[in-house]
Amino acid sequence: MITLTIALRNIFRHKTRSLITLSTIIFGCTAIIFAGGFFEDVFYKMRESYIHSHTGHFQIFRKGYWEKGNSQPYNYLIDNPDEIISHLQAIPGIKFITSRLQFSGLISTGENTVSCIGMGIDPGYENQDIPAGANLRKMSDAMTLEGPVIIQGKALTKNNPYTVMLGKGLASSLGITAGDPLIILTHTTGGSINALDVTAQGIFMTSSKEYDDHFLRLSLVTAKKLLHTDSVQSLVIMLDKTEDTAGVKKALARVFQDKKLDLELKSWDEISDFYRHTVNLFNRLFLILKLVIAIIVILSIFNTMNMAVLERTDEIGTIMALGTKKRGVLSLFMHEGLGLGIIGGSFGVAIGTALTHCIARIGITMPPPPGASMPWVSEPRIVLTTVVFAFMTSILTALVSSLYPAYSASRLEIADCLRHK
């Protein structure tokens, strides 16, 4: 008790020095909380925009598609999508299940022809009509949570099948604007060639430049007509919350087994390698950052504690003469380090959280991430585990850096200390 009192009073004895040390800890905490929040926001936006614009939370294919579907896509079509959907629909957490049919082909204005990938979607589900806001932040939010954003023209509608939406890059390589007529040319599932006159209803943009450069979206009905088939290629499941992925996956697998469905199930994280690699990379970067911060904090506290021991040699001699044992001296300086860690950590967590929160409200405009074409607005998130980590790190670094000074204080000879002046 008295040890703690003495330790705390000694911390406040050298106000400037302690303030500098505390600032280092506070800075470290803030940096960790902010960087962690920034990375988390990157992960979140990337994940959600991929899910909503591209992968959905799950995709269901006919068995074998994942391995061989690339070369023979039409050998692995699903013939009974409605039946499958009816089995799965009741699983809690599922927002909707919809079908897709994808093909590669050519798209032409008559003058210009480029290759493209067509994706037949159900406009009732996968086609929120999000107008391109003037506001970058609204747009990046929409892209994250809703899917492709329409930057020109209008969204697909159910009752007008002969319309398509083009990715931004695809539209510009064709040199068209919304409303222009186009011809799509592709193989049917039977192998013959088929063409269709359509109108470019709108131009969209997603978080992936790759996608926007090659894809066009059209109504599933139209795609079926073009490919001469009634089957679909995949079922896309969208959940209410991404956190439910693991739980729903189990439920889906159970239904597959019960109903003997010969299907392949892939979750979004299995489909998007890119996300996994980015998370790994950023986590590694974050680890290095944390290490660097920890080292700076350790050196700063170490310096302070060492000075304290040097300055207070005569006090150490005095308390040892008065009967304090070596471990008592050790404990005194460890308490002092701990005090620095707790005070610094508490303020650090408070300031770091507050600052991250403020910055998130303002938002930081960031350049387009790799593979994307649009700047985005970062809104760092406060991650509880990172906040706890920052606090624990403050305490741990404080203890680690006090260990040697405290130990050397406890090893001092009393007579030498008392002669020291």
Encoded one letter per residue, x for contact with other proteins by CB under 8 A and - for no contact, window 359-398 reads ----------------------------------------
Residue of the chain from 6, 263, 265, 366 that contacts other proteins (CB under 8 A): 6
Does 420 participate in binding other proteins (rule CB under 8 A)? no
Q: Which tokens belong to 120? A: 């037949």
Comparing CB distances to other proteins, the nearer of 295 and 310 is 310
- In angstroms, what is the minimal distance from the CB of 418 to other proteins? 7
Closest C-alpha to 236, from 213, 268, 260, 209: 268
Instruction: Provide the b/e sequence for 130-158 (b: ≥16 CB within 10 Å).
Output: bebeeeeeebbbbbbeebbbbbbbebbee
Encoded one letter per residue, x for contact with other proteins by CB under 8 A and - for no contact, window 122-161 reads ----------------------------------------
Give, rounded to a whole angstrom, the gap between the first and last alpha carbons of the chain: 29
Which residues, at least 6 apart from 96, have a Cβ–Cβ distance to it below 8 Å? 125, 237, 238
Question: For residues 320-339, which are near other proteins according to CB under 8 A?
Answer: 320-326
d(CA 229, CA 167): 25
Comparing CB distances to other proteins, the nearer of 11 and 297 is 11
Comparing CB distances to other proteins, the nearer of 8 and 255 is 8
Number of residues that bind other proteins (CB under 8 A): 24
- In angstroms, what is the minimal distance from the CB of 10 to other proteins? 6
Q: How many other C-beta atoms are found inside a 10 Å radius of the C-beta of residue 253?
A: 11
Encoded one letter per residue, x for contact with other proteins by CB under 8 A and - for no contact, window 10-29 reads x--x----------------
Taking a C-beta distance cutoff of 8 angstroms, is the pair 81, 232 a contact?
yes
d(CA 278, CA 282): 6
Residue of the chain from 85, 178, 319, 359 that contacts other proteins (CB under 8 A): 319
Comparing CB distances to other proteins, the nearer of 361 and 421 is 421
Comparing CB distances to other proteins, the nearer of 46 and 417 is 417
DSSP string, 148-189: -EEEEE----TT--SEEEEEHHHHHHHT--TT-EEEEEEE-T
Distances (CA, A) of 359 to 38, 119, 135, 356, 371: 10, 39, 18, 5, 25
Does 414 participate in binding other proteins (rule CB under 8 A)? yes
- In angstroms, what is the minimal distance from the CB of 340 to other proteins? 15
Does 418 participate in binding other proteins (rule CB under 8 A)? yes
- Residue 177 has phi, psi (to 5 degrees) of -125, 170
Interface residues toward other proteins, by CB under 8 A = 2, 5-6, 9-10, 13, 314-315, 317-326, 413-415, 418-419, 421
